[in-house]
Amino acid sequence: MTRADTLDDLLSAVATGDRAAFAGLYDEVAGRVFGLALRVVRDRAQAEEVAQEAFLEVWRTAARFDRAKGSALSFLFAITHRRAVDRVRASQASADRERRVAAATGDREYDEVAEAAEARFERGQVRACLDALTGAQREAITMAYWGGRTYREVAEALGVALPTVKTRMRDGLIRLRDCLQLAI
């Protein structure tokens, strides 16, 4: 007797209400059913729910299984795939509805005023901390981070050696980090 025959026999027994056969069927194919659901929904929690719903449907509809039309595994996979696709469609429809409602009411997913105020506050903190650096540190950091220059380009622009620029930037960044941590 092949594994497919065993699954077919188990599913046929499930159709008669045999709980032990259902447990055996579950033990044999639960991992594969979950794997199929996970590949479709791409979310572990959702896949667990889909697998549970699929097995519930198998319990309820096992009498519809016909060996002449296909294997027990294909019967299980068809149910699982259908449930998973339904879950994806429902999730997508829900997300689309939420976007339409948000667009119609003008709601934003975040508070723009609060975000702008926080950004302004953070810029002020950075400016204050930059002002606390030495002029050489501030100039090197500003050229590199806001000017987009490399260490070598900063060294050439300031007319100093590359190791000097690296030291200024390292010391300046350490002071900035310490200053910003205190500001928080």
How far apart are the C-alpha atoms of 37 and 20, rounded to whole Å?
24
Cβ atoms 143, 165 nearer than 8 A? no
Beta-carbon contacts of 52 under 8 Å, excluding residues fewer than 6 positions away, are none
Mean pLDDT lowest for which of 9-13, 115-119, 165-169?
A: 115-119
How does pLDDT run across 29-64, given as a tens digit for each residue?
999 999 999 999 999 999 999 999 999 999 999 999
| pLDDT value, residue 64 | 96
Domain ranges of the chain: 3-105, 112-183
* Fold of the domain built from segment(s) 112-183: Arc Repressor Mutant, subunit A (1.10.10)
| pLDDT value, residue 110 | 60
Whole-prediction pTM: 0.56
How far apart are the C-alpha atoms of 169 and 161, rounded to whole Å?
13
Helical H runs in the chain? 3-15, 19-41, 44-61, 72-105, 112-131, 135-141, 151-158, 162-183
Name the average pLDDT for the chain.
90
Task: Indicate the CATH number for domain 3-105.
Answer: 1.10.1740.10
How does pLDDT run across 1-29, given as a tens digit for each residue?
687 789 999 999 999 999 999 999 999 99
